[in-house]
Amino acid sequence: MTNILKTGVVGWPVSHSLSPRLHGYWLQKYGINGEYLAFAVKPHDLAAFLKKLREKEIIGLNLTVPHKEIVFPFLDEVDEIARKIGAVNVITVRQGRLYGTNTDGYGFLTNLKEAAPKWRAKKGPVVILGAGGAARAVIVSLLEDGIPEIRLINRTRERADNLAEIYQDPRIVVCDWQDRAQKLNDAALLVNSTTLGMTGQPPLDIDLSALPRSAVVYDIVYNPLETELLQQARSRGNICVDGLGMLLHQAAPAFQAWFGRKPEVDRHLRQYILRKLIVIGLTGSIGMGKSETAKMFERAHVPVFDSDGAVHSLMAKDGAAVSRVEKAFPGVKGPDGIDRKLLGSKVFGDGAALKKLEAILHPMVSDLRQEFFEQAQGHDMVVMDIPLLFETGADCDYTVVVSAPLAVQRQRVLSRPDMTAEKFENILSKQMPDREKRQRADFIVQSDRGIRYAEGQVQQIIEKIRAEKDAGNRI
């Protein structure tokens, strides 16, 4: 059997990366015996990780934040374009040596010329908003393409001045942020390289009145795909370029270097990448059948992350949290790991102790959750099994509540060893009432009508979510 060509992306965090989905698409399309993984590597572990590349038989890597700028000392050779940009996003391994380059500028310019084929650098000045790492790739690519003038504008002028100082090119003119609207006069291209306008970030406040209608407006943000800037520009007739194409085009040279095949960036790839991983939150009160419903999703080939199970594994024998929990709460360690009953007697009812425990467990659970998302690449949806989903405000695309009549719930719970009516009532008092959960849910699974009925409900939920996704109605 031919050896698998292994590649991947390195970042911290890295679960957000679209690269595994992107490269996985090309690998499957061209029938290449390769794999592209996601590696969550903390900054202080980067050097050691790269040192072991030969052992891992990896032929290449992408780098994402925060590694692109700090990786230089760990590479054997870095090309001129990466040094100009000040960042490496692609590593190729040849005979045990690590070669670094940067394809962000290539991705930016290729996307621009594809989306606006009549644009030419010589047509006029460009206004670039932002002076961070993305701006450097934009500046270098435009300077090399022959742009006559770059008006560099950043909210903090000092940062823009420092960037201009690095390149020492008379074509770069630094302007004040408050003058951004008037500096659009006679510009042939406007580029937003900031995060303003991205989902979860403040909007980009700019008046486009002075911008010629013949100018191209390019927003490197791709979440959302159609930012307010692009909406405003499109409404006045400007040609608009979104940031997704830059992401896709910057990946192509790396894929070709690693696998020897130049991949195609087309509308089918865009559509595939835009189909995001759907997160389904699964919850239900004690005794409702949530755990069994989670197994039904797994049997339907939907990966499930069990939050309670993650905590159990961390505190089981040889679990990653055992030594830290024992140090914080002496005497709770037993032969099989942390004695949860003993720990509970020390924690519950004591707010300060509970916060101390959460400070230990929450980051570890977060790491396990990140690993789960990395391993789920290639699936279109996952389930997060979260007992207190509504109480904790967990972020999910859909919510599924498992429910049964109170009499059924009571019978199930009281049949458990060491469970009493008093304990049951105490647990219920600390949870959101089932009726309220049902009202908040997108879907409800009735667990009192038999396994076959519940399995059918789960399958219907999966099919309906996929149908909504394909129609663009929800995601």
How far is CA 406 from each of CA 135, 410, 433, 435, 443, rounded to the nearest angstrom?
A: 59, 6, 11, 10, 19
Q: 277 and 373 in contact (C-beta within 8 Å)? A: yes
Q: What angle do CA 234, 235, 239 make, to 5 degrees?
A: 25
How far is CA 300 from each of CA 297, 378, 382, 387, rounded to the nearest angstrom?
A: 5, 15, 11, 21
Q: Are strands 337-338 and 333-334 parallel, antiparallel or unpaired?
A: antiparallel
Selecting among 6, 68, 183, 290, the annotated active-site residue is 68
- 116 token code pair: 């606006």
Residue with the two structure tokens 């500046």: 139
Backbone angles phi, psi at 411, to 5 degrees: -60, -45
| Known active-site residue 118 | no
> What is the sign, positive or negative, of the torsion defined by CA atoms of 383, 195, 67, 150?
positive
The H or E element containing residue 461 is helix 451-471
Largest CA distance in the chain: 80
Q: Within 13 A of 315's CA, how many CA atoms are on the CB side? A: 26
Q: 139 and 282 in contact (C-beta within 8 Å)? A: no
In 145-289, alpha helices (H): 157-167, 228-235, 244-259, 267-274
Q: What is the CB neighbour count within 10 angstroms for residue 123?
A: 16
Residue with the two structure tokens 């692609």: 90
Catalytic center residues: 68
